[in-house]
């Protein structure tokens, strides 16, 4: 098999549980790059939450790419947009009303900030802000610009409350938007045109890479769209959810056991 593009999720996949890149992952990516393979970080994070890893991987410039906000944006690492499927102000209002109805907490994410109308932040929003190094702006709905460009909307709650909330949500929301779970306390909402799978396919097309030359890695629900692409070479982590494992071509070791590097060496580098 010939692999020309590797697209990998970050948290729980490429990164270990301490949110760090292992020496094995760094070495595997460096060797892949030396062999002319494009490596793309495909994440729910904003660009700012990815930059330190791009620096470690020496991935800079107009010919290196990163997928952020679950596929809402694909940019080159110089910051220029390549693919864009954002949400807008009306989408925010719709989900803000829904969150208020069920007493859930909502924030949305732009290229540079998180916004919320909640003055009493929960630990999940605080954690997301810290991990991605993205500041939070507390604003009323009236203070938010009507032309704002939104990468994704997130609803956060304790796992048991989130499970009940998902059961009660009108199914129409799932038809009109891409709604995924990246953790049991994070519900992520994207444009129906935006998903990791769709945007990686579009990027491959732009680069002249066949879809059967694309290898993808993931572990959670927001990676599922990549695993629904029939032609991709699909690798689920050993710590992945069952839905991904059942669709995978190969289940590798866990993120703590170097599963990413193991599968890259086995299938892309032919070690």
Cβ(254)–Cβ(239) under 8 Å? yes
Q: Is 243 exposed, middle or buried (0-12, 13-18, 19+ CB in 10 A)?
A: middle
**Nearby residues of 218 by Cβ (< 8 Å), 6 or more positions away:** 8, 9, 13, 196, 224, 226, 227, 235, 236, 237, 240, 244
Find the catalytic residue in 9, 11, 219, 223. 9
Closest residue by Cα to residue 185 from 241, 123, 110 = 123
CA distance 196 to 27: 25
Strand blocks (E) in the chain: 5-8, 38-42, 65-68, 73-76, 81-84, 105-109, 114-116, 136-138, 152-156, 177-183, 186-191, 214-218, 233-236, 250-251
Catalytic-residue membership of 9: yes
CA distance 250 to 101: 42
Beta bridge mates, 45: none
Catalytic residues: 9
């Amino acid at each position: 098999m010939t692999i020309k593009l590797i697209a990998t999720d970050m948290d729980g996949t490429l990164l270990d549980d301490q949110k760090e890149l292992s020496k094995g992952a760094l070495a595997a990516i460096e060797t892949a790059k030396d062999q002319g393979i494009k490596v793309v970080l495909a994440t729910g994070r904003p660009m700012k939450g990815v930059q330190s890893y791009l620096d470690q991987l020496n991935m800079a410039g107009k010919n290196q790419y990163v997928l952020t906000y679950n596929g809402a944006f694909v940019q080159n690492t110089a910051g220029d947009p390549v693919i864009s499927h954002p949400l807008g102000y009306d989408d925010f209002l719709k989900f803000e009303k829904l969150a208020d109805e069920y007493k859930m907490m909502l924030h949305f994410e732009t290229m540079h900030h998180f916004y919320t109308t909640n003055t009493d932040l929960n630990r999940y929003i605080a954690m997301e802000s810290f991990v991605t190094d993205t500041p939070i702006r507390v604003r009323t709905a009236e203070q938010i610009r009507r032309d704002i460009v939104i990468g994704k909307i997130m609803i956060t709650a304790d796992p048991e409350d989130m499970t009940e909330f998902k059961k009660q949500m009108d199914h129409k929301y799932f038809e009109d938007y891409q709604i995924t779970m990246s953790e049991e306390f994070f519900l992520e909402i994207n444009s129906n045109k935006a998903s990791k799978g769709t945007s990686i396919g579009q990027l491959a097309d732009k680069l002249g890479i066949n879809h059967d030359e694309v290898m993808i890695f993931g572990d959670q629900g927001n990676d599922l769209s990549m695993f629904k692409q029939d032609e991709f070479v699909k690798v689920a982590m050993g710590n992945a959810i069952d839905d991904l494992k059942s669709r995978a071509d190969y289940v590798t070791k866990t993120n703590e056991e170097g599963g990413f590097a193991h599968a890259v060496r086995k299938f892309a580098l032919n070690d």
